Structure 1
């Protein structure tokens, strides 16, 4: 299900550590990896040459650090606006997953500061794994999935099952959070939660694959509850569905209304203290 990975490496952050953690997962060991570094345009040819040389060094260091099978990893140095180049290369190689670092900027700040990860998240239709610069990347064992009845949530479940299917000691944490309509919040676990119909397919799939699981049905503000649970349960990776964000009228323009709106995925990518994989609706 994940056969081609695009690692957008800026030379900073924890994206390389995230890829190493994924590489330890049995189902990911045959995936091919393209490590991309983008050199922004420079005013002078001398400046451009210096940036190319520096970019080449970053690529070489990243590939060496990853310590992957040489037949499965390649480096790619491109020139241009990083935001546009990442989207373009993801389409060129038909990436199943984009891994990027993120400074964890809030929505308006990310727009004003021209955030690369926010732009790619906004315009790409591919799954993205965002790794904040200020979090610690751990080995992936506890994987939490936010479920509802959306198609993108179904995709996040499929990705979680793919990651956990042969992972010894792995655990699938299924969560369903109803919006807080009564002023109360809280979670139920165990057998009571298993009766939540949203979990039915996920439980059947987990049992079929022999994956250890637990269920939590909660009431509250979904975005805040997800971040709270990820902290309390020491989650290594959080998956949630994020519908395609591109506007239907102008696919090439950022959807500012959604960027500035009350988006669950925007909140979680900023405040969750673990890597966040945003799944998309299958095309």
Structure 2
């Protein structure tokens, strides 16, 4: 399911460290990796030359940090606007996953600061693993999926099972937020989970694939509860569906309305205390 990974590096943040950790997951070990660094246009040839040299060093350092198999990695150094180039290269190599660092800026801040990760998240239809600068990256054992019955959540479940099933001691945590609950929240029994129409199919599929699973339920506000449940359960990776509601005519423009309005995926991206994998589903 994940055979081609695009790692966008800037020389800052934890994206390289995240990929190194992810490559320890059995399902990912054979994936081909493209490491990309983008050099923005400069005012003089002298400055441009220096930036190209610096970019080459950043690429080399990233490949060394991740300790990649030379036969499984491609390095790309390209000039342009980083926001556009990341999307272009992802399409060129048909990436199954984009890994990027993120400053964890809130919506309006992202717009005003011209955030690369937010722009790519808006315009790419590919799964993105965002790694905030202020989080601690741990070996992946506990993977949480936010379940709500949507097609995006079902795709996230497939991805989580793909990642978790061969991890020794790995555990899949199914998180469901019931907005009708006022106070009851936390881990639910197997019987309760198997009688829940949202959780039951996921539990059955996990059992079929031999993945250890447990379910947790949150109450009230979904975005806040997903972050809380992830922190309380010491989650190493959170997978969240993010349906793409933009019409095709608007694919080339950042959806400002989506950025400044209430967005569950955007809240989680900013506030989660673990890496967040956002799976985009069209429709």
TM-score of the superposed pair, with normalisation by structure 2: 0.96
Q: What is the alpha-carbon distance in structure 2 between the residues aligned to residue 182 and residue 30 of structure 1?
A: 43
Number of the residue aligned with 2:102: 102
Number of the residue aligned with 1:6: 6
Q: What is the alpha-carbon distance in structure 2 between the residues aligned to residue 227 and residue 120 of structure 1?
A: 22
> SS in structure 1 opposite 2:176?
strand
Q: List alignment gaps of at least 5 residues for structure 2.
A: none
Number of the residue aligned with 1:67: 67
Cα shift at 1:248:
3.3
Q: What is the alpha-carbon distance in structure 2 between the residues aligned to residue 186 and residue 165 of structure 1?
A: 27
Q: Is the 8 A contact 1:155 1:282 kept in 2?
A: no
Q: What is the alpha-carbon distance in structure 2 between the residues aligned to residue 188 and residue 77 of structure 1?
A: 47
Runs of 4+ in 1 over 4 A off after TM superposition: 181-185
Q: What is the alpha-carbon distance in structure 2 between the residues aligned to residue 146 and residue 247 of structure 1?
A: 25
Deviation string for 1:110-144 (max 9, x for gaps)? 00000000000011000000000000000000000
Number of the residue aligned with 2:121: 121
Cα shift at 1:100:
0.3
Number of the residue aligned with 2:185: 186
Deviation string for 1:22-61 (max 9, x for gaps)? 1001111100000000001100111111100000010011
> SS in structure 1 opposite 2:138?
coil
Deviation string for 1:56-114 (max 9, x for gaps)? 01001111111121110111001000000000000000000000000000000000000
Q: List alignment gaps of at least 5 residues for structure 1.
A: none
Number of the residue aligned with 1:91: 91
Alpha-carbon RMSD across the aligned residues, in angstroms, is 1.4
The more displaced of 216-225 and 105-114 is: 216-225
> SS in structure 1 opposite 2:243?
coil
Number of the residue aligned with 1:219: 219
Q: What is the alpha-carbon distance in structure 1 between the residues aligned to residue 187 and residue 173 of structure 2?
A: 13
Q: What is the alpha-carbon distance in structure 2 between the residues aligned to residue 282 and residue 210 of structure 1?
A: 29
Q: Is the 8 A contact 2:244 2:282 kept in 1?
A: no
Cα shift at 1:250:
1.9
> Paired residues, what number?
282
Cα shift at 1:200:
2.0
In the alignment, structure 1 residue 16 sits paired with structure 2 residue 16: yes
> SS in structure 1 opposite 2:273?
coil
> SS in structure 2 opposite 1:238?
strand
Q: Is the 8 A contact 1:59 1:75 kept in 2?
A: yes
In the alignment, structure 1 residue 232 sits paired with structure 2 residue 236: no
Q: What is the alpha-carbon distance in structure 1 between the residues aligned to residue 60 and residue 246 of structure 2?
A: 34
TM-score of the superposed pair, with normalisation by structure 1: 0.96
Q: What is the alpha-carbon distance in structure 1 between the residues aligned to residue 189 and residue 63 of structure 2?
A: 43
Q: Is the 8 A contact 1:152 1:242 kept in 2?
A: yes
Q: Is the 8 A contact 1:131 1:276 kept in 2?
A: yes
Number of the residue aligned with 1:153: 153
